[in-house]
Structure formats: C-alpha cells, structure tokens
Amino acid sequence: MTMSDDDILAPRRSRSGSSRTTSSGAGARGPIIDQDGREVRPETLEQGFREFRFELGKDNPFAGSPFGNLTREQRIARVEAIAKLLDVAFILPGTNIRYGIDGLIGLIPVVGDIITTAISLWLVREARALGAPWYVTGRMLGNVALDGVVGLVPFAGDAFDVMFRANMRNVRLLRHWLDKQPRL
C-alpha cells in the first residue's frame, strides 16, 4: 500500500471527520518523528525545553561578564599575561631579541597597528578599573600613543614596537603603583 502526496502532506481524517491531533493542542498537524523514525510524545519535548535554559541570575558566577567575577589578583595576572603575549612571548631564533604578537600583527599596514593599539588601550582601561590614578593611566596612555604613532611607520615602526614594549612598560607602571598601595 503506497501513500499519496495528499496523505503525506495532510493527516488522515478519522471516521468522525476530525483530523488526527496529538495531545499538544488542536493546531498540531501530526505526530512528531525523531531521526530514527520513532514517534516522540509532546510531553517529553516540553520537559526537555524546560531543562534546557540558561541561568543568568545573581547566583551564577559568570552572569553579566564573559570573564566571570575576577578577583583583583586575577585581573592583575590577566593584564600581565596579555602584556607578555603582546610584547615578549617569542624569541627571535639565534638571538636574545624577544618580540610578541604586537610586532607580528603590526606588520599588517595600518590595520595591525590599530588592532594592537586597541588591545593596549584595553589594558589601560583595566588598570583604571583596578583603581590606578589618572597620573599613572596618563603615562600609560602616553606609552600607548607613542607606540601607536611610531608603529604606523612601515618596518621602522615595527622595530620600534619590538624594542619599546609599551605594554610591558605599562604593566611595570601599574605594578609600581600597586606595590605602594597599602594591603587590605
């Protein structure tokens, strides 16, 4: 017995004249079939959707921030790690010259320097969030500006990026200020 296209697209009508519906409501067109060809009861679907949800309340440690609620020490460690990645992550083979992703991305004209300057500015913003005063963040911004402007010069600017290491200087400024602060 083969089915016509009409039987596939529209459910068969029972003898009473009403279309076959599932228990999920009058608007259902037919049974729900899983990938193995078995019928799925609507109750199990509703239960599955209730179990699948995101908790974004206050009790969730990752609510509102993609990095979670970090302690002061964790923020400082993150700033230091990013600065090291940007400025001194690699060693030029056969020499003692250290360079980072800042020097590599900076090889892309203009766009690379904009990207690395934006990351450096984010580090300054983190320092400000850690409570660094304006005179410290002002010096940090000066380092970033100098690194960004000179970095725009092809090749010579990239060599300057490798030697100047603005992000490591900024972490040193932040550390120096933090060491002077009383411990709570």
Per-residue pLDDT of 53-69, as tens digits, reads 555 555 555 444 555 67
Residue 129: strand, helix, or coil: helix
Structure confidence by residue, pLDDT tens digits, 142-176: 999 999 999 888 889 888 988 999 999 999 999 99
Per DSSP, the residues of 49-71 read HHHS----STT-TTTT-TT-S--
pLDDT value at residue 50 = 56
* Residue ranges of the chain with per-residue pLDDT less than 70: 1-28, 45-68, 184
Structure tokens at 100: 């980072």
pLDDT value at residue 3 = 55
pLDDT value at residue 38 = 80
Let me know if 64 is exposed, middle or buried by CB neighbors in 10 A (0-12, 13-18, 19+).
exposed
- The residues, ordered by sequence, that sit 6+ positions from 7 with a Cβ below 8 Å of its Cβ are none
pTM of the model: 0.62
CB-based burial, 5-22: b 16+ in 10 Å, e otherwise: eeeeeeeeeeeeeeeeeb
pLDDT value at residue 37 = 78
